[in-house]
Amino acid sequence: MPQPRRQRRPEARPDEILDAALAVFTEQGFASARVEDIARRAGLSKGAVYLYFPSKDAMLNALVEQSAGKLARAAEQLVAIGAPGDPEAALRSLLKMLMTAMADPDISAAPRLVLTEAGRSPEIAAHYRSQVLDIARRALGALLEAGVAAGRFRDVDTDALMRLMGGPCVAHMVLTTIFDLQPKQINSPDNMADAVCDLILFGLVPREEAA
């Protein structure tokens, strides 16, 4: 007696499509990827894909919300909980979260795609800004405010701090996931985050033993 054909739950299809889209975008590049290829990878018809996502841009935007957007919201929550009590510990935890996530190819895949496409697509750039960068900027502003209020940080420009913290995270992502240039002495994202945090807090000037 033939077994009944397994039916996939409709609510699972968007995730299946996004998994397929990420694989196709990564293999072929965003510009060369076709919706037909994504549909085939997901085991669906092209028309079924369009029921959930009207375009490749919409798929990439959804992938951003799944990865970098989720990370940005988690960072904002971490700051809201931790910064009022110990802003320096919150800064270290934030960098550890970001370094660990950005070194994971599955998490950093969508941001890397955005880096290649944002210059050609203002809509993709604007979506990434609203879903990731604006949230990150707000979180860093709150962290800085808490640190200044506690007398632990100087009152510096939020945008300068964002670039100072974001630069090492992006560099770590690119060097680790694209060029496979692993640190020679620092053996984990946590330790790298601590090293970067020490540089942010204390710079390169030697510190006295008491400090």
H helix intervals, 85-188: 87-102, 105-117, 122-128, 134-149, 158-173
CATH number for 63: 1.10.357.10
Q: How far apart are CA 98 and CA 172, in angstroms?
A: 10
**pLDDT tens digits along 66-114:** 999 999 999 999 999 999 999 999 999 999 999 999 888 888 999 999 9
Q: How many domains does the chain have?
A: 2
pTM (2 d.p.): 0.88
Q: Are residues 31 and 16 in the same domain?
A: yes
* Structural domain contains residue 28: yes
Q: How far apart are CA 142 and CA 63, in angstroms?
A: 27
**pLDDT tens digits along 79-92:** 999 999 999 999 99
**pLDDT tens digits along 45-62:** 999 999 999 999 999 999
Q: Which domain holds residue 35?
A: 9-54
Two structure tokens written together for 31: 């510009």
Two structure tokens written together for 135: 């949230």
* Structural domain contains residue 180: yes
Nearest to 114 by CA among 136, 90, 133: 133
Dihedral (C-alpha) 118, 121, 123, 129: value to the nearest 10 degrees? 10
Q: Which residues contact 89 (CB under 8 A, 6 or more apart)?
A: 82
**pLDDT tens digits along 117-130:** 999 999 999 999 99
CA 95 to chain centre: 12
Q: Are residues 132 and 94 in the same domain?
A: yes
Q: Are residues 105 and 22 in the same domain?
A: no
pLDDT for residue 210 is more than 60: no
Q: Are residues 25 and 120 in the same domain?
A: no
